[in-house]
Structure 1
Amino acid sequence: MTIDLDGYRSLGEAFAAHVVARPDRTALTVAHGPDEEQRLTYRELARRVDRRASALAGRLAAGARVVIALPTGTEFAELYLACLRAGLVAVPAPVPGGSATATERVAAIATDCAPGLVVTTGQDRAAVTAQLAGHGLDALPVEAVGDAGSATGPVPADRRPDRDTVAVLQYSSGSTGSPKGVVLTHGAVLDNLAALARHDRLGPDDRFGGWLPLHHDMGLFAQLTVGLLIGAPVVLMPPAQFVRRPVEWFRLLSRHRITVTAAPNFAYDLCLRLVRDDQLDGLDLSALRYAWNGSEPIHGPTMTAFTERFARIGLPPHAVAPAYGMAECTIYVSTKLAGEPPTVRQVDRARLESAGEPALHPVDAGGKPMVGVGRPGPFTARIVDPRTRRELPAGRIGEIWLRGPGIGRGYWGRPEATSATFAARLADGGDGDWLRTGDLGALLDGELFITGRLKELLIVHGRNVAPQDVEQEARAAHHALGGQLGAAFGVAAPDERIVLVHEVDPRTPPADLPGVASAVTRRLTVSFGVPVRNVVLVRRGTVRRTTSGKIKRMAMRERFLAGNLTALHAELEPALRDELPAGA
């Protein structure tokens, strides 16, 4: 049974309907381990939400922003839903947790959105307060979650939001630039999640679960919010558990008979590498309908290997479903349906990499495999030449433009960026405003194929080269790079040169590093038909990622050009060395 979300005026109203309909059903389980789980029924969760909403409404004006810098837990859900209930704007942020980068990001978000309150953990409160003071925000209240409000009494009627009220500022992950806050109204979130529920036939009989951080759009909307809005149980585990022991994700899915989970492509690859066969005994993934694979480029061989290997513990053959979405349209654009095999098309490499008129040209064999991410169901999609703003025919690669349910109002406090991204017009005037995604792709037989990010595309000797392809080939070139992170980007010296910064397995002897670099150079040059002679090998932990696991290639490019990378071994062309600061 699919739940209809279209008739509700707000997210809080949709949640409240399930409190009435199924009060004693478990709404939220937070699993810190098999023997340490906290459960709240819909009634219990609603009671906590109401107390927090009443307290917040008594001290903050309607529309005030509340930065939620909390780990995965019931407190995050309580505060998030309380903001939605009290006409406040929830602003999910990373958990500081001793990380200077995360603490700085919380401060940057607060500087951008001028909140009325920041809520974090008791142990992180002092660090966040000090970081905010460094940004001139000494007067901004920072409270531990236990002090963030618990009062009795109803929320005033004039504070109840409607579909036009801003619900969430969802800060983008910042893989290609500084993160920006996407303004999402109650109506936008309801419309987008309603479209997702209808398309994927989601309902209260499903069980959602996973490890994704709740300050990331996939974790917030495709795990927590959609589950609670359709009356389903939601089971969450801290992301750190997955990173330390990926098999814990499988144990969670098996123990709770989860039907819907989600993760970026890197997580499926991590499971293939780090989950041992002896850890699989007794696990059962047969309940899974969807294991959405999205948020970053989907690697077809990884998806196939994951499905084949874990079939032995009941993983259905087509449960791993390619998906596409982004914060600017809440979360959902397209997915493959449960039970449908993924669409993998072999395409001509020369046509794919043409800098003139790149296209997906299917071939019978010997081409590059491309994975489809489904039809953009409720959205109208156009593939547009980003230079001329003219629509391109089927098969041609261009920027993906969208119109449909769940698109945000724009970026908080950035009218120029909002106009450029959310109010784009086709060259012929067309039929209104479009969302420019910044993603490159093509439509084949009505299905969407993603080929890369517009800002990250490398154009070398008249060929388009996707950075993720360079990184993937490098890992295949030498075992010392297997399972490590890399970032490929372009530098003009004076013409475009490809640079690869890649982490190395810590067990690699220093004497072997020149051979590693040479193996990578040879393979990349042969694979792409262009010289790739600039390889920088670095320690594990050097390559930066966003909160969702995306490689921050532009940030790595900036660090490289500033001479701020400590290399274990580097091979650079003389022209490129001249671009670096003296002594770098």
Structure 2
Amino acid sequence: MTAEPHGTLVYENRDETDEIADFAPRTLVEALRTRSGKQPDRVAYTFLLNGEEPGEELTYHDLDTAARARAVALEEAGLGGRSVVMLHGPGLEFVKAFTGCLYARTAGAPLQAPQNTAGVERLLSVVQDTGCTVVLTDTETRDDMLGRFPEHPELTRLTWFTTDTVDTTGAERWVEPDLDPEHTAMLQYTSGSTGRPKGVMVSHRNFCVQAAENQEVWNVSDDDIAVSWLPTFHDMGLMYGVVMPLWRGMRVYLMAPQAFVRRPRRWLEAISRYRGTLSAGPNFAYDMCSRVADTEGTDGLDLSSWRMAVCGAEPVRMPSMERFARAYAPARFAYRALAPGYGLAENTLKVSATPADRDYRTLWVCGTALAAGRVETAVQDAPGSVPVVSNGPHQSGTTVRIVDPVTRRACPDGEVGEIWVQGGSVAKGYWRRPVETRETFRARIADEDSGEFLRTGDLGFRHEGELYPTGRWKDLIIVDGRNLYPQDIEYTVEKCHPALHATCAAAFAVERDGREQLVVLVETNAEVAASGTDLPALVRSAVGRRHEVLPADIVLVRRRTLHKTTSGKIRRRACKQSYLDGSLQYAR
């Protein structure tokens, strides 16, 4: 191998391409540089216009050239080695800008383009947190932002750096840096479902270890084809839609998230048309597709190529998995493809996952015992029994422990506690927040010398070597000594009326008269109103029957007004605050 001027790799022996199958890069820059040299003409990324027709494509050589040009532009603007916000619309410009940041040693912080005032406020708060007033974006997104929010003059005071207008000839001036795998590759701002968003410092090593674990658990090869509608500013969309093609050499077809939301069948049609083998989505996406099958059927779909249907980013529900599998069995969807997994941004993404070539597992337990923090197995569908979905075992480089969140003592198998994680995917900490980094990333188990762990804030238990998440510790509702998981109550509400949609409810506790009481907020809609249903009475009955507790208050609010994260999770603390201060948008 030799290097021509301006950093272009040339391989005299083309048989070197055979060696790339076992290639394990130490940084994402090394990954792209090597693939550009050995597989320059291989198409890595294709963007589907309207979620259907192929649009722009990028080979590894194309992407390497684009990344070098953007890196030079960043360095010449004084942004090399700094942290900047990234605000790109759907399309491949984000991929070019992200890799350009990697090449310039710039830690990009991808965010969703704001759709309302709350989104603008979040953008401005993250800009302040990064310490840099430069926003990397594309021309269309910049013009839309400045035109849509004239009431926010703060936006005009930002420096908008349009990455789609850089001089591509600048690529020739790039000099490859001597990059430490521990260098911060990006800042992944947490979605904020449990508090104020914080920037997670994800290193090149974190990305590479995570990618290697994905390869291990799902037998990923460069013959795999990924299909993704997930937003690339979210950890799951970034890993499966951008990083894995870099690291493993697999091809990916991307579409805008709104293309899926407006017509969920596009996701399945793309998998069918392009013979996708790996694709992921949260639980609600599988629910949406199941409803589509009920109304539109499955004609024209062939899902036999889809070998890993990953489900994560929110609690995985057994009824959702089973309903999806039944609905698409006529389209040759393999039940074994279902792969629930658990992860969080602080661990780059995945902690555990259902392996390839094995059915996912569900454990039926006594609901009363689970509420008390104990795991007692029960007979399926027996009175009082509830299903808990396994999120699989952790991989060889990761250690998972269940720990009492108060005493910090290890819990035995069969006992619910906080999930603690140790391994190479655990991020470096929170950007410019040493106290919170120490509390979350440097935890130690009492009476043990087992090293530092990441505290996830999630509750769960281990059974026969597999992880079963049950909920958020700080969101736990305790009524009359019983532990209630808010997501379970919210799911019950969603299913009590056919016109209610996913993530339409928020459950939390408020203190009244010296004791905690349950409050449920429900987004209603015109279809529910037209049915003449007494929705509060229906919710009260369903929750009381299923969870043996009656809500002290049930409040109906307008649709799309509950506080949610950019990835669609309920922000329960914000909902509770709006309930307490009377700022909810009540349904009429």
Q: Distance in 2 between matches of 1:360 and 1:154?
A: 61
By how many angstroms is 1:148 displaced? 4.8
Matched residues in 1 for 2:343 and 2:238: separation?
13
* Distance change (3 Å), C-alpha of 1:500 and 1:30: same
Which residue is 2:379 aligned to?
364
User: Any idea what the Cα deviations from partners look like across 1:423-459, whole Å, max 9, x if unmatched?
Assistant: 0111214222110000100000110000001111111
User: What is aligned with 1:554?
Assistant: 573
C-alpha change, 1:18 and 1:116, in structure 2 (3 Å) is farther
Q: Which amino acid aligns with 1:416?
A: V
| Equivalent position to 1:177, from 174, 182, 195 | 195
Q: Distance in 2 between matches of 1:335 and 1:81?
A: 27
Compute the displacement of 1:403 (Å). 0.4
| Pair 1:441-2:470 in alignment | no
Aligned to 2:370: 352
2:294/2:327 contact within 8 Å kept: no
Partner AA of 1:499 in structure 2 = V
Cα distance in 2 for partners of 1:62, 1:278 equals: 50
What displacement does 1:505 show?
3.1
Conserved 8 A contact 1:107-1:128: no
1:242 counterpart (260, 264, 273) = 260
Read off the aligned partner of 1:41 and give its amino acid letter.
T
- Tell me the secondary structure at the aligned position of residue 139 of structure 2: coil
Q: Which amino acid aligns with 2:113?
A: V
Give the match's secondary structure for 1:346: strand
Query: Is structure 2 residue 152 aligned with structure 1 residue 125?
Result: no
Counterpart residue type for residue 509 of structure 1: A
Alignment of 1:321-340 (within 5 A): 321-340=339-358
Alignment counterpart, residue 30 of structure 1, candidates 47, 52, 56: 47
Is 1:487 aligned with 2:506? yes
1:16 aligns with 2:36: no
* Contact 2:86 2:136 survives alignment (8 Å): yes
In structure 2, distance between residues paired with 1:28 and 1:59: 28
Q: Which moved more, 1:375-384 or 1:57-66?
A: 57-66
Cα distance change, pair 116–281 in 1 and its aligned pair in 2 (3 A)? same
The equivalent of 2:117 in structure 1 is 100
Moved more, 140-149 or 560-569: 140-149
Kindly state the Cα deviation for residue 481 of structure 1 after the two structures are TM-superposed.
Answer: 2.8
**Cα distance in structure 1, aligned partners of 2:375 and 2:83:** 44
Kindly report the root-mean-square deviation, in angstroms, between the aligned alpha carbons of the 2 structures.
Answer: 2.2
Between the aligned partners of 2:334 and 2:521, the Cα distance in structure 1 is 37
Contact 1:183/1:409 (8 A) holds in 2 = yes
Change (3 A) 1:483 1:326: closer
The aligned runs of 1:185-264 (5 Å cut-off) are 185-264=203-282
Task: Report the AA paired with residue 376 of structure 2.
Answer: H
Deviation (angstroms), 1:471: 1.1
Q: 1:329 & 1:206 partners in 2: Cα distance? A: 24
Matches within 5 A, 1:173-572: 173-276=191-294, 278=296, 280-354=298-372, 358-365=373-380, 366=382, 367-377=385-395, 378-483=397-502, 485-493=504-512, 494-509=514-529, 512=532, 515-568=534-587
Question: For residues 191 and 40 of structure 1, do their structure 2 counterparts lie closer, same or farther at Cα, with a shift above 3 Å needed?
Answer: same
State the SS of the aligned residue for 1:450.
strand
1:576 aligned residue? none
Matched, 1:63 2:77: no
- Corresponding position of 2:174: 155
SS of the counterpart of 1:192? Answer: helix
The normalised TM-score by structure 1 is: 0.91
Q: Distance in 2 between matches of 1:3 and 1:394?
A: 39
Provide, for residues 359-407 of structure 1, a one-character-per-residue CA deviation record: whole Å limited to 9, x for no partner: 2211123110110001112311110001100000001000000101111
1:551-575 superposed Cα distances (whole Å, 9 cap, x missing partner): 1111111111110112227xxxxxx
TM-score scaled by length of structure 2: 0.91
Alignment coverage as a number of residue pairs: 562
Which of 82, 88, 91 is the aligned partner of 2:100?
82
Deviation at 1:132, TM superposition (A): 12
Query: Alignment partner of 2:587: what SS?
Result: strand
For 2:10, the equivalent position in structure 1 comes to none
Instruction: State the partner residue of 1:167.
Output: 185
Q: Distance in 2 between matches of 1:547 and 1:139?
A: 24
Answer whether contact 1:207 1:227 (CA < 8 A) is retained: no
Q: Distance in 1 between matches of 2:309 and 2:232?
A: 17
Give the Å deviation of 1:509. 2.9
Change (3 A) 1:83 1:382: same
Report the secondary structure of 2:415's partner residue: coil
| TM-aligned CA deviation for residue 38 of structure 1 | 1.6
Q: Which runs of 5+ in 2 are unaligned?
A: 1-17
Amino acid at match of 2:269: R
**How far does the alpha carbon of each residue in 1:88-121 deviate from its partner, in whole angstroms, 9 at most, with x for none?**
112111123x433333322221111113631223
The answer to whether the 8 Å contact 1:410/1:422 transfers is yes
Cα distance in 1 for residues equivalent to 2:165 and 2:225: 32
